[in-house]
């Protein structure tokens, strides 16, 4: 599958950060929403431009959402190749843990989860692969993920997952 994807013309190159707020007890904050009857759970994120500093973008996103300052730790560098009907998307994602002490930042659709209680069935298939790795290991993950995605963000099928 990798040869097929690389042979396609890139239709889009994107850069994104994913932020996982984390308390000292190891629980992480995730947001949940329901759209068209499908419940999705995920971290917090933002796209950025190539010339922007991803760590600063992550810091700005947390400050904007919660009005707090945090210590960020890079947890993963993920290279996605997403094969969509409109073309191939080259998506580079930097994942950060945001260590926080205030758990009163919750909104109705946000919940703290212990590693053992994360609702993986409500996450994108790729996230179900890399999130347990970064929660269990103390080293930064670097991975390449190839996804066949017929449409919706949560419906993609991981065709290849390689830890670099």
Spell out the per-residue pLDDT of the chain, length 164, in tens: 444 444 455 567 899 999 999 998 899 999 988 887 888 899 999 999 999 999 999 999 998 888 888 899 999 999 999 998 888 889 999 999 999 876 566 667 889 999 999 999 999 999 999 999 999 987 799 999 999 988 766 678 999 999 98
Phi, psi angles (nearest 5°) of residue 135: -75, -30
Task: Tell me the domains of the chain and their CATH numbers.
Answer: 2-163 (3.90.79.10)
| 98 neighbors 15 (Cβ within 8 angstroms) | no
So what's the pLDDT on residue 8? 52
Global pTM reads: 0.87
What is the reported pLDDT for 34?
Answer: 86
For 19, other C-beta atoms within 10 Å of its C-beta total 24
pLDDT at 88: 87
């Amino acid at each position: 599958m990798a040869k097929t994807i690389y042979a396609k013309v890139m239709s889009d190159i994107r850069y994104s950060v994913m932020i996982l707020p984390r308390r000292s007890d190891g629980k992480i904050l995730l947001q949940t929403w329901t759209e068209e009857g499908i419940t999705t759970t995920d971290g917090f994120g933002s796209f950025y431009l190539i010339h922007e500093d991803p760590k600063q973008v992550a810091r700005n996103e947390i400050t904007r959402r919660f009005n707090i300052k945090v210590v960020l730790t890079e947890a993963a560098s993920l290279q996605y190749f997403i094969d969509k009907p409109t073309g191939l998307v080259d998506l580079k994602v930097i994942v950060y843990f945001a260590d926080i002490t205030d758990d009163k930042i919750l909104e109705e659709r946000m919940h703290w989860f212990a590693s053992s209680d994360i609702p993986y069935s409500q996450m994108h298939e790729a996230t179900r692969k890399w999130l347990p790795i970064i929660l269990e290991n103390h080293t930064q993950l670097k991975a390449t993920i190839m996804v066949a995605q017929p449409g919706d963000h949560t419906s993609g099928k991981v065709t290849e997952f390689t830890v670099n």
